[in-house]
Chains A and B, each alone.
Chain A
Amino acid sequence: MPDQSDIAEPQARVDLPDTGTQTRRAESASVFWLVVVGGVLLMLLAWLLPWFVEQTASGVGHSPMDVIVSAPTGVGWIAIWALGIGMVLLIAGVAYDAFAVNSGRVEPFRWSRIRAGIALFCAACTLLVLVLVTSRSELVFGSVSANALTDNAVWMMLAGSLLLAFAYGLRPWVTSHGGLAFTAVAFVIGGLFPLMFNQAPGFVVWGAQSAGIYVLLALGLNVVVGFAGLLDLGYAAFFAIGAYTTASMASANHGLHLPFWVLIFIGAAAAGLFGAILGAPTLRLRGDYLAIVTLGFGEIVPDMAQNNLFGATGGPNGISGVDSPAFPTHGSSLDFGIFGINPRPYYWTILVLIALVVVLLRNVERSRLGRAWIAIREDEVAASATGINTVSTKLLAFSIGASVSGFAGAFFGAMLSSVTPDNFQFAVSVTALTTVVLGGIGNITGVVVGAMLVSFVIFWVLPELQGWMGTLGKNIGVQSLGTIQYSDYKFVVYGLVLISIMLLRPSGLLPSRARKVELETGAESEPLAAVQERA
């Protein structure tokens, strides 16, 4: 019998890299850079916005730069110049910082302080312009009254410079508490968003109806694809089930008028139930086979709705006249009535729904169930031999993922006040999957960012691009820029996003911890090129 004392000491005295903390730091650093890049982009966009904006009849534009021309007081003139110079310095500083980090140089912390100072200065200048715009609009901008685009430019500038001030002023904290920093930024900016763009209700509608919905869809799909590793290509089906359930219980269609706040949970439950019904017979399948079955399901559901299933779905016209949600205080002394067509209450509602879903999913991620999902994703045979009921655990992933999209569907139906089969085509599933892949499969923060980016590009930039390009074309003398239907190219964008993310950063913009390691230590199977090189 060997000496038992040598059991306690591991024989291999290799010094393993502490990959755990390393990757945690890497993830937080990427949150820092996300905030910085977001800030710079907002500032640039604010400054460049007038390039894309139609000028008014009186010939006076809406840009902060036009203040230089038209400001009679001189204050606006100085503020704008100072802002411009500060911005150029700031962007140069950020570029140098990125360069220094990339080449591994460590610069003194005080440089970050200086950048934060410049950013605060920019914010102050912007505030001054904001005051001029709102209180003395006719003096600064001639006959133009408070204008949506000026307003947007000023708010974007303010948000961008404050983001940079936050990131650089609290750099060590942002780097060490990435998730918390991101949540703080997201909720402050997210909560104030409708107030910032109070002159551009269309943007708030986008925020609730496109960004909000796709963030929810991405969060739900991430449970299925990211946590449990089950490829679901028909996720829109559950979205449709949530929407149709809600719509038929809150419209003249069946004469039912249940309150919205009950219905979102009924919609979620219905979608979750169908998730389980679809999952039960199919989850014994693996990988590609499951993907094909879900693809089929995703096609069947809108088709059944199209064919007016049991006379309940209204055929191609869908269900219209869905009740507008009422404030929860409806009927009491504090009655604010219904949401109606004002986008703000919808926006804040979906923000609360997202917060709720994020909290619940974060809890699951770090629990018995979350570990079981990841174990199944890693090795299903080992998971079952370790005592995990793989069928019921996968079923739960399917069901929980589906019910999140049921939430989204219920909200969607109520906000649009109608649901039609066209809203739930394959493109919706593809968009949701793109957001998850882009943001970082398996990482909650990542998929939220991915969903916002994709919905911004697809549902805001592309539709608006024709107008912007038209103005730009007029300014630079290329008229043909304004004649292209840019939204026709959304599938090109999906394709480009998917190809470039797979080539450049296969684990997504903000990878989950495990995927990050996978990327750093190399994939399981070595690529052919590596083998050929050796031969």
Chain B
Amino acid sequence: MALLEVDGIVKRFGGLFAVNDVSFDVDTGQIVSMIGPNGAGKTTAFNCITGLYPLSGGDVRFKDVSLLGMQPHRITRLGISRTFQNIRLFSYMTAVDNVMVGEHCRMHAKVWDDLLHTRRARKEERAVEARALGTLRRLGLERYADVYARNLPYGLQRRLEIARALASGPTLLLLDEPAAGLNPQEKVELMGVISRLRDDGLTIFLIEHDMRVVMGISDRIVVLDYGEKIAEGTPKEVRENPRVIDAYLGSGASEGMRSA
């Protein structure tokens, strides 16, 4: 049984099939990438998996539990957390507070604990703050703990979003274009961060445009085009797949490459 089983998911917006009958598995401990041209439905598929969009058809199973109709926070609690393509940090909270929000679903303080500041709440609060600082350190952000998220440079904001996602203690991490807008040096560092997270036991599923990043770290690649899965396999298999080359470079391109 795979960790995440995506089984024929369909997402329709009116008459448009943004995602049409896509199936794939993500196995424990792997880095799986989803690629495809702009508008191929990658982010829509992400939103379907994380519960932001209700599915029009198909099923998503995580640890053999169906995520159908589940609210996003319940899915996060099950162990899937994500980042966003256009960074969605809590801008006017400090970096450490952002990560502490990420710990929300792991905390047990009830309303009364919070109102009365009970010993239990104080103890948990201290523990969570220490853990949040640890998460920041893990991503090399400890210097910026007290800086407002919006004041961080772009590259660090991307990294802080990963830190926040890690704070909920996920088993599966979904990254939506983590390398977008980063310079080459930052991209190299990001690849290091991601593969180190995998080595720590996390399973990672990411959307990415940058082929160097994708080919460099992925164990498996899923290719979408016009909402449909056109290929799946190891980086090498995908790179040589004629349908992928057609999708990226236009039909006939694979013919040309073969003859060249």
Contacts and interface: CB of A to CB of B under 8 A. Distances in A.
Interface of A: 1-4, 6-12, 14, 16-21, 360, 363-364, 366-372, 374-375, 378-379, 381-390, 396, 400, 514-515, 517-518, 521, 524
Interface residues of B, number: 62
Contacts, number: 160
Contact of A387 (B117, B151, B168): B168
**Dominant secondary structure of chain A at its interface with chain B:** helix
Contacts of B155: 11-12
Nearest to A21: B146
A517 B115 contact: no
A367 B89 contact: no
B84 A367 contact: no
**A-B residue pairs, 6 tightest by C-beta:** A387-B105, A514-B92, A367-B114, A387-B76, A382-B88, A20-B146
B71 interface: yes
B152 interface: yes
A375 B167 CA distance: 15
A17 B88 CA distance: 22
12 contacts: A6-B192, A7-B139, A12-B156, A16-B147, A18-B146, A19-B148, A20-B94, A21-B146, A379-B89, A385-B72, A517-B151, A518-B92
A400 B115 CA distance: 10
A6 B184 CA distance: 14
A1 B192 contact: yes
Contact of B71 (A20, A368, A384): A384
Given A371-B97, A374-B93, A387-B73, A364 B151 contact: no
Given A3-B192, A367-B121, A387 B150 contact: no
A386 B81 contact: yes
Nearest to B159: A10
Interface of B: 50, 52, 71-73, 76-77, 81-82, 84, 88-94, 97, 100-102, 104-107, 109, 111, 113-117, 121, 124-125, 139-141, 143-144, 146-148, 150-153, 155-156, 159, 164-165, 168, 185-186, 188-189, 191-193, 195-196
B73 A389 contact: yes
A360 B90 contact: no
Nearest to B99: A386
B52 A372 contact: no
A11 B185 contact: yes
B164 A386 contact: yes
A517 B143 CA distance: 19
A367 B100 CA distance: 10
B100 A371 contact: yes
Contacts of A370: 114
A100 B253 CA distance: 72
B105 to A, nearest CB: 3
